[in-house]
Structure 1
Amino acid sequence: MEQKKILIISYYWPPAGGPGVQRWLKFVKYLPEFGWEPTVFIPENPSYPIVDETLQKDVPVNLKMIKTKIWEPYQLAEKFGKDNKKFKAGQFDVGENQSWKAKLSIFVRGNFFIPDARVFWVKPSVEFLEKYLKANHYDALITTGPPHSLHLIGLGLKKKLPNLKWIADFRDPWTEISYYKHLKLTKFADKKHRNLEAEVFKNADITLATSYTDAENFRKKGANAFCITNGFDVELENGRMEEWENKNSTTLPLYNSTTKFTLSYVGVLEQLRDPGNLWWTLYEIMCENKEFSNDFELKFVGKVDNKIQQSLFHIGINQNIKYLGYLPHEQALQEMQNSSVLLMTNFPQDSSKGIIPGKIFEYLATGKTILSFGPKDADVEKILSETKAGKHFGYDEKESLKNFIVETYQNWKSGNLNKNAENIEQFSRKNLTQKLVDLMNKQLF
C-alpha cells in the first residue's frame, strides 16, 4: 500500500536539546512503520537555548528535510544581559528578583513579538510552503509549538489551501501556560494573543494536546482536540524495553546501581517550580537522623536557578548536593538510572493541572520511585496513581511528605525500595505513534 505523506513544521530539531525536540523526533522515527512518510521543515539558522549533539544520531538517515533561514531578535535581546537567554526556554525571574533589564525584555517579548520572537519566520514560510505544497502532494500538515508562531504558519497555509489537512500540536498551552500572566501584556496584546489562539483552534482539523486537562480546555475553546501524551522510547534503557516486551510482562526489569540514597532532579529548575518545602523537610530529617544524613545525596542534572542554589546553601544541605549541570541525553538517562528516587516539580497553580512534564515518561521507564510536586488532582497525579510509580504532593504538604521520604529511605536501606511500575506500555513512543496514526486516519480521511 502506498504510504501517505506528512509535512512536519518544527522549530526544535537536533542538535537542539531538551524535552521539546523529543516528541516529533520520535514520531518521525516510527511513522513509516505505520504507513506515513514524514518530511520535516525546520529553520536553517535557529537560536537554541540548549544544544545536544548526541540527538543527531536519532534522526533517520533517509529523512527528507527542508530548511529556510529565520531571523529572530534574541541575539539583540541578549545584549540586555545574559538572563535574557532564559526567555528562549520560557523561563522568567519573578517579583523582586527581576532586574529592570529583565522587566523591559519581558514587556517587549510579550507585547511586540506576538505570539513570540519567532514570528518573523511566519510570512516567508507561508510564501515558501504555499508554492512547495502546490508542487508536492502531502496528505497532512503538522505544526508543533511552542513556539506558537509555527501554528500561524499552519493557519496561513490553511487559509490559502483550504483542502489542506492541518494538525496543530500544542506541546504546551498558549494563553493558559503558567508564565503567560508574567508577560506584562497590555490589553491590546492580550486580546491579540487570544484571538490568534482562537483562530488556530477554529481552523485546525485536529488540535493535539499532551495532557488530558489541556485537551479538555482546548475543546472548551472550540478546538477538535485530542490528547496524545509524550512518552519514552523502546531503546531508552539499552534493550531493557525489548527484554520486557519479549517476556510479555507488564512490568520493567529493574537495576539499582545506587550506593547512596540519591534523590535526583533531571532538567531545568526555575524559581516558579521551586519545591522549597522539600528542602526544609530534607534538612529536618537530616538533623533528626544521622544515618540518613550520611546516606543521602541530592543530585541536579541540568540548570538550577541561582536563587534556588542560594536557598539550598542557606538551609544547610549543600554538603549533600551534587550539581552536574546539563548533560547529553544519554548521560542524563544514566543518571536517572543511578538514582534511588526521581524528583519532578510542576507549577503550583491549579491552572497547571494539565502540565505533564515530558521527563515523567523517561522516569517511568527506569522503574524508579517518583516524587512529584504540583497542584492536587493534576494529570501527573493520575498517571502516578495508575502506574503505581510514585507519589504526588502539593507544595504545602509537610507531614505526609516527611513520612514518605522516611519510609522510602527505610525501604532503600532494606533493599526493598523499587516496586515495578505497571501499565506503562501505553506510553511507549511506538504505541503513541500508532495512536497518532489511528487518529489521523479516522479524523482526516
Structure 2
Amino acid sequence: MSANDRCSRPRKILIICQYFVPYAASVGVVARVVHLARFLNDCGCEVHILTSDGADFGDLGLGGFLSELNITYLSDPLKKSVQERLLRIGDDPTGSASGGLSLLRAVKRFLNSFILPDLGIFMVPKYYRTAVTLAKSKEIDTVIVSTPPHSMQLVGGLLKQRFGERIELVVDYRDSWNASTIFARKGRFTSRIARRLEEFTVRRADIITCASQPMLAKLTRLFPDRTLDDKCLLMMNGYAEQPCPIAVPTAAEELRIGYFGMANDDNRGYRNVQPLLHVMALGVAAGLRIRLVFYGSLRLSRIDIRNFPFVEVHRSVPHGQVLDIMREMDYLLILHTDPSNSDEVITGKFFDYVRARRPILCFMPRDAEAVRLAERFQVGAWLDSQTPERALEALASLKHRQYPGLLDDRLVSSFSRREQYAKLYARLAGSA
C-alpha cells in the first residue's frame, strides 16, 4: 500500500503495549497510550489495542476514554502472578516493613539479570501471532508499539519484517531502552545482544517517537551508523482535556506538598522516598510547617511511615477527582532519586501538574529534564535529591516563590496532549 493510499482514507491502527486498563497499577503506566488511542480515534482512525491481562486494578478513572476502542487482552500468566502477589502484599503504609515485598524485588532483579531484554520476552510469540491475525482481518496499516517493557518492540520489528510497506511502524519510547541505565545491560556480551535486539526494530521503524528530548539525542548516539534524524519525533506526554483556570494561592501557613502515583523505599530504585522524607524531617525540625501528602501506591519494606508525622497517605484518587485535589496543594511533587538515569526524566505528572496550574517541585538530580523544563518555563522549583543541605535551603524558600509561567495561557496550552499527539498524526498523514 502506497503512502498516498494510506492518507486517502482513515488509518486503521494497531497499538501494542503490555500494560493497559484495567491491568495496570497506576495511571502513569497507561495514560500515554490511553490518551493517544482516544486522540487517534477522535481524528477518525479505527484504533485497535493489543495488550494482556493481569490483576484487575480497576479503570483508574480512565474508563470514559475507552469507548469506541477495540481492545484484545491476551492471557499473561507471569504478569498476572506478579501483580496478584503485589496485591496480596498490600500497600498499607502504616504497617510494618514487608519482607514479602523485599523478596519480590530481589526475585524480579534476579530474573531480569539474565533474561533479555525483560520478562515480557516470553509473551512475544503470542503477541506476534495475534497481531498478524489482527493485521490481516482488520486491514491494519499502522502499528504503534509503546514501551517499556521493551521486549514488545520486537513484535513491531517482526510485523514490519513480515508485512513490509503494507504497514507503517511507529516505535514509541516512554523510556529509553539500551540508552538508559535502567534498562541497559552491564555485561559486554549481554549488552551487545540487547543492542542488536533494539537495532532490529529501530532500523525497520518508519517513525520513532520519544517522550523527551534527551531520549532522542541518546538514541542517535547509540546508533550513529543509522540515519535516525528523519525518523525521530519528540512527542511528550502532555495533559488531557483543557487547562484549569489560574489558581489562587493558598493562604494557609502550612506548606502542602502533594504526590500522585507510585513510590517506595527501595534503595536501588528511582522512586525512593527515603531521602525526601529525611530532608522534610530536617525542615520540620528547623521550624518549617510542611504537610507531605501521598495519593497512590506507597510500597514500603524498610521504613515505618508512622515515624514521619508530617506525612499523610491516601489511596489512589479517581481520574475525575484528582485535579481538584491537586489544586488544593501549594506544590506538586515529582520524585526521581537515581542520578544514573535522571537525565531524560519528564514524567506524565509534570504535564498534569501544569494543567492544574500548581507549582511543580522536582526532587531529583540537577540534570533531569523535568528540572530543565520547570526552570526554563518558570513553572516550578528544584530540590536537590543528592545534597540534603541544598535541598533544605531551597525548601525553606518555597513559600515565597512566584511562577509566572503558570499564568501564561499560551504556554500552558502548549503542553497539552493534543498539541503533542498532533505531531504524530501530521506525520502519519504525510503533512509533516
TM-score band, normalised by shorter chain: 0.7 to 0.9
Q: Which residue of 2 aligns with 1:8?
A: 15
CA contact (8 A) 2:10 2:44 kept: yes
3-state secondary structure, aligned to 2:38: helix
Paired with 2:132 and 2:89, the residues of 1 have a C-alpha distance of 33
Paired with 2:388 and 2:134, the residues of 1 have a C-alpha distance of 58
Q: Which residue of 1 aligns with 2:76?
A: 71
Deviations 1:321-374 (CA, angstroms, capped at 9, x unpaired): 111133333333332122111111123324320121111110111111111022
Paired with 1:320 and 1:393, the residues of 2 have a C-alpha distance of 18
Match of 2:114, as an amino acid? Answer: N
Alignment counterpart, residue 256 of structure 2, candidates 234, 255, 262: 262
Q: Which residue of 2 aligns with 1:247?
A: none
CA contact (8 A) 1:256 1:337 kept: no
Paired with 2:260 and 2:82, the residues of 1 have a C-alpha distance of 28
1:21 Cα deviation from its structure 2 partner: 1.2
Q: Which residue of 1 aligns with 2:54?
A: 47
Mean alpha-carbon deviation: is it higher for 253-262 or for 225-234? 253-262
Mean alpha-carbon deviation: is it higher for 10-19 or for 198-207? 10-19
CA contact (8 A) 1:169 1:207 kept: yes
Paired with 1:127 and 1:402, the residues of 2 have a C-alpha distance of 54
Q: Which residue of 1 aligns with 2:208?
A: 207
- Identity rate, percent: 20
TM-score with structure 2 length normalisation? Answer: 0.81
Q: Which residue of 2 aligns with 1:420?
A: 406
Q: Which residue of 1 aligns with 2:197?
A: 196
1:135 Cα deviation from its structure 2 partner: 4.2
Gap regions ≥5 residues in structure 1:
87-92, 241-251
Alignment counterpart, residue 306 of structure 1, candidates 282, 295, 300: 300
Deviations 1:264-321 (CA, angstroms, capped at 9, x unpaired): 11111133333655434433332333xx43xx311111222325643x655xxx2221
Deviations 1:66-104 (CA, angstroms, capped at 9, x unpaired): 42533332455679x759989xxxxxx9xx999566434
Q: Which residue of 2 aligns with 1:245?
A: none
In structure 2, the CA distance between the partners of 1:131 and 1:281, relative to structure 1 (3 Å rule), is closer
1:157 Cα deviation from its structure 2 partner: 0.8
Alignment counterpart, residue 435 of structure 1, candidates 416, 423, 429: 423
Q: Which residue of 2 aligns with 1:166?
A: 169
Q: Report which of the two has the higher share of helix.
A: 1
Match of 2:235, as an amino acid? Answer: I
3-state secondary structure, aligned to 2:110: helix
Alignment counterpart, residue 382 of structure 1, candidates 354, 372, 375: 372
Alignment counterpart, residue 32 of structure 2, candidates 8, 23, 27: 23
1:38 Cα deviation from its structure 2 partner: 2.3
Match of 1:323, as an amino acid? Answer: V
Please tell me whether residue 137 in structure 1 is matched to residue 143 in structure 2.
Answer: no
Mean alpha-carbon deviation: is it higher for 11-20 or for 253-262? 253-262
In structure 2, the CA distance between the partners of 1:199 and 1:301, relative to structure 1 (3 Å rule), is same
Paired with 2:129 and 2:384, the residues of 1 have a C-alpha distance of 48
Please tell me whether residue 333 in structure 1 is matched to residue 323 in structure 2.
Answer: yes
Paired with 1:83 and 1:328, the residues of 2 have a C-alpha distance of 18
Paired with 1:52 and 1:258, the residues of 2 have a C-alpha distance of 35
1:396 Cα deviation from its structure 2 partner: 2.8
CA contact (8 A) 1:18 1:50 kept: no
Paired with 1:280 and 1:4, the residues of 2 have a C-alpha distance of 51
CA contact (8 A) 1:171 1:209 kept: yes
3-state secondary structure, aligned to 1:30: helix
Paired with 1:187 and 1:355, the residues of 2 have a C-alpha distance of 26
3-state secondary structure, aligned to 1:424: helix
Q: Which residue of 1 aligns with 2:128?
A: 126
Alignment counterpart, residue 233 of structure 1, candidates 236, 240, 251: 240
Paired with 2:323 and 2:201, the residues of 1 have a C-alpha distance of 36
Paired with 1:77 and 1:377, the residues of 2 have a C-alpha distance of 33
CA contact (8 A) 1:275 1:373 kept: no
CA contact (8 A) 2:13 2:48 kept: yes
In structure 2, the CA distance between the partners of 1:105 and 1:405, relative to structure 1 (3 Å rule), is closer
Match of 1:381, as an amino acid? Answer: V
In structure 2, the CA distance between the partners of 1:99 and 1:138, relative to structure 1 (3 Å rule), is closer
Q: Which residue of 2 aligns with 1:248?
A: none
Q: Which residue of 2 aligns with 1:243?
A: none
Match of 2:282, as an amino acid? Answer: E
1:27 Cα deviation from its structure 2 partner: 1.7
Please tell me whether residue 180 in structure 1 is matched to residue 183 in structure 2.
Answer: yes
1:255 Cα deviation from its structure 2 partner: 4.2
In structure 2, the CA distance between the partners of 1:101 and 1:337, relative to structure 1 (3 Å rule), is closer
Alignment counterpart, residue 343 of structure 2, candidates 334, 353, 364: 353
Paired with 1:376 and 1:175, the residues of 2 have a C-alpha distance of 22
3-state secondary structure, aligned to 2:309: helix
Gap regions ≥5 residues in structure 2:
1-7, 91-96
